[in-house]
Structure 1
């Protein structure tokens, strides 16, 4: 077993894809860097924190992007976002079997706030264009930094989300919530709380991810291969189904949850027995809960 969380972006590409098949566009040797960071005296990276290119996965032609959480938390800036958009636009032209996004990001890079916000919106539009063309977009989430902010929205725009139990997915990160509303609202240092409310097990039980896997590169690869032939058309019926899911979740909790564990309350309200035991269950056992509910 090789830990997905402990790998860098390029290590994930090397171990997840067919051996030797990854061809990178705009590699570090091209030195395409952020035009903003140097002006602010901030270190920059020659790939701007994301590797994009083409490869094969189990013999299928795929386009793939891998965000590097070790550089500015995988934050999206102007160049970073442009590389993702370019990947999506080229997918529309060349029509690979799927587009893979190995997401690890805290969201928009604050050093490039406006440019980053625009970039994320362009990524969302490009991703939806790819989906509308019938090319599945598969997002893999299992890095140490999770998938938050604008990239959390991007992930939920995709056809399929694969998460490990150590992966995290949400709109606002724990530190952002705490800084905005105080530690009484959300204690970002409470690791158990963070994973109960944003982690892979929670997202699986609430229907926000399509596959829950072990923290293992081989498990991510198998789940990605399984999702290649399963695109989900963008239809009004699908959108209404998603809205119904969110509405049911919103109204599932009791009106007063102050001081109580909302994640456990929600799991119980959604029909999962012995909800308080979920954090201690194995990935296999949590996967089985959805089948027997």
Structure 2
């Protein structure tokens, strides 16, 4: 874990439980189904694949600035945070318990490459159940906030889950998308997307891009304290805004349709930023999160409001 100057700690380099320790009130996390319970994936064992005693996700209750919250943190070091049957069931479980116990918010510390290929059908079903549970929790008036800043990003089914939540906080090195770069390249060829081009990957899926286009609500530095502060603000704002209604959904769809028109045919991120009205778009990749926060176009800001 990297610690440099003024006690700055990299969120990306923390484990799932370390992130929980830094983001939540100190000592407040109480874990449900911890590793000592040894609830593991039966599918991985049948395939002779190593398992994890928590199946790659920590769930429980805690406090965030004295608010009671339920939390789930995916461990990217285990199978890239991939969702399988047990992993997904734990996510669904914490959301369904939120419906029963009504905490003030649910936090999802997402880091996932998507569904595990080893148990694809079970994982796909699990992701669909997580999506339904997220929407049920939101409909009950309980905010759901996603934090994205891990090295593996948030892709596949978990990328969809994240966009179903009330608010998304990303670091400038976080990534969010439906299909990962390698998947796009494998499906459509390197001419369509070169997964080895790291600058292209971050321009297309990174936190700066998602913030500028309105796909995330807060852009922070790779610092656990920044994530905690943004999580507190997101929970506060989500409790009083963005209702889950047909009207709000139609407004979001209209904003996405307008962005598609603005993008034109095959517009790369730099061109899209310029078309959306971002000033001096070519400088975005070299700017820090604080500088980028002041450059989001009004249309994108309205979409994320």
TM-score by length of 1: 0.97
Q: Is 1:282 the counterpart of 2:288 in the alignment?
A: yes
Q: Is 1:114 the counterpart of 2:121 in the alignment?
A: yes
Aligned residues: 289
Q: Following TM superposition, by how much is the alpha carbon of 1:253 offset from its aligned partner in structure 2, in angstroms? A: 2.1
Partner of 1:290, secondary structure, is coil
Q: Deviations over 1:92-145 (max 9, x none)?
A: 011001000000000101100000000000000000000000000000000000
- Which sections of structure 2, spanning at least 5 residues, go unmatched? 1-7, 300-305
* 1:221-240 matched pairs, under 5 angstroms: 221-229=228-236, 230-231=238-239, 232-240=242-250
The correspondence for 2:271, drawn from 250, 265, 272, is: 265
Partner of 2:9, secondary structure, is coil
The correspondence for 2:178, drawn from 146, 161, 171, is: 171
Q: Following TM superposition, by how much is the alpha carbon of 1:16 offset from its aligned partner in structure 2, in angstroms? A: 1.1
* 1:142-181 matched pairs, under 5 angstroms: 142-181=149-188
Corresponding residue number in structure 2 for 1:48: 55
Q: Following TM superposition, by how much is the alpha carbon of 1:53 offset from its aligned partner in structure 2, in angstroms? A: 0.1
Corresponding residue number in structure 2 for 1:188: 195
**Cα distance in 1, alignment partners of residues 297 and 175 from structure 2:** 22
**Cα distance in 2, alignment partners of residues 132 and 95 from structure 1:** 12
**Cα distance in 2, alignment partners of residues 119 and 203 from structure 1:** 26
Q: Following TM superposition, by how much is the alpha carbon of 1:245 offset from its aligned partner in structure 2, in angstroms? A: 1.2
Q: Is 1:74 the counterpart of 2:81 in the alignment?
A: yes
RMSD: 1.1
Partner of 2:263, secondary structure, is coil
Q: Is 1:248 the counterpart of 2:258 in the alignment?
A: yes
The correspondence for 2:65, drawn from 46, 58, 62, is: 58
**Cα distance in 1, alignment partners of residues 40 and 125 from structure 2:** 17
TM-score by length of 2: 0.93
**Cα distance in 1, alignment partners of residues 40 and 26 from structure 2:** 28
Q: Following TM superposition, by how much is the alpha carbon of 1:292 offset from its aligned partner in structure 2, in angstroms? A: 7.5
Partner of 1:251, secondary structure, is helix
Corresponding residue number in structure 2 for 1:136: 143
Corresponding residue number in structure 2 for 1:2: 9
- Which sections of structure 1, spanning at least 5 residues, go unmatched? none
Partner of 2:83, secondary structure, is coil
Q: Deviations over 1:221-266 (max 9, x none)?
A: 00111122323321111101110111011111233x4xxx610111
Q: Following TM superposition, by how much is the alpha carbon of 1:274 offset from its aligned partner in structure 2, in angstroms? A: 1.4
Q: Deviations over 1:17-67 (max 9, x none)?
A: 111100000000000000100110100000000000000011000000000
**Cα distance in 2, alignment partners of residues 8 and 82 from structure 1:** 21
Q: Is 1:94 the counterpart of 2:101 in the alignment?
A: yes
**Cα distance in 2, alignment partners of residues 131 and 117 from structure 1:** 21
**Cα distance in 2, alignment partners of residues 290 and 181 from structure 1:** 31
